[in-house]
Structure 1
């Protein structure tokens, strides 16, 4: 990964993201104009049902959502999109677990998956899927903003340090990545549990509990600098425990030669 490749990927990613954000704004304004702000807020304060309510408003001839072809089409598209996203995340997590905990073998070096890795990946898919179903069933009537904040904080605290250090820091290696991931994710989990988003407020995930000692709703203000610091510390040591700067200094030092070649 080079800086030129990262810039090119960023240029290609900006246009779809900008188009998506523009579409969301247009849909939100259209929903507010066609349906009304009060009805949207009464159905879902977070605006999650705005798109479906707009489809009902755009098909005035239908007696209800069940008789609206446009509503059915949009609902199917939303369900297919959600299913594809969930499947992709589940497969990525299962593949990561299967590869990270796999026994070193010759097949790994050739980019091939052994039968043991495939079997481990299948069990990982089943386990992650079952855990996700149980979590969603238990929290279906609670505020989903907490889980969204957790995912956003994890992405913002892990991805930028890894990407920026990989592009601009020559000594950044796999050890720095491990320090960033394994050090930041537990910190995010602990701070989220101790935050008002988890307990102590009416909109918390568990409003009946009250043990919030971390004052912020999201831990990004703490975990993002922690991710950069952990990545810096993890990649700051070279072979044998010596700092990278000292190691590079030693390797760059060349023997002093005189004019006679001694």
Structure 2
């Protein structure tokens, strides 16, 4: 977590380990940064406090992780590094941040390659259009069956980002009101960090919201300054490793531009800063 007072005149003196004593949702590197940020934070502290009281409810969300895919890790039978290494994806591509050693050296400063993919065979990942229309998805088992992927596939470790977006629309009832969504859905996504190295997985929203133009505003302090305002056009799904797979026929999987992007099922835009500062 980055210091909420970063950029307010003085440089941070270290890691942000000093949390707000009331809400616990923001952290600071020092008492001086906490004091300087209070005028901004006090307006949202009470709201964040109430939200943090319900943070344990996140563990009950159906798309937090896949128990079937990570049972050895969950039961402490093996480490996350070992789990990834056995599947040939340890410290590889989008999987880099999925273990503590990768997260410790990963940098959000570097743009991802347009060819970033799953680093898995086509039978283990959703790299192309689904073979059947989407149905109501209430669990990872539902999703894996719909996408014809075996439950031992590790893709849930990355796909919980787009699947949680899907689930949120189910909970709010938006998917029941086509007149509300129409053909465009705009989402404000706050505080992305390691997601910045896994943006290609958001291409799965093409399958989850067929016929809908999904636009996501990713807002957070972890976004590098040189990527502030960047637009990303996800024209297809993240690729598999099979050389002859149909997913290779799409050459524009991960296009970036700082100007106007052409129409696409899923577009992302990055904004550096805090949500309340951008309002």
Query: Shorter-normalised TM-score: what interval?
Result: under 0.3
Larger % of strand: which?
2
Q: Which protein has the larger Cα radius of gyration, Structure 1 or Structure 2?
A: 1
Scaled by the length of structure 1, the TM-score of the pair is: 0.22
Scaled by the length of structure 2, the TM-score of the pair is: 0.21
Q: Larger relative CO (CA 8 A, sep 6+): 1 or 2?
A: 2
Larger % of helix: which?
1
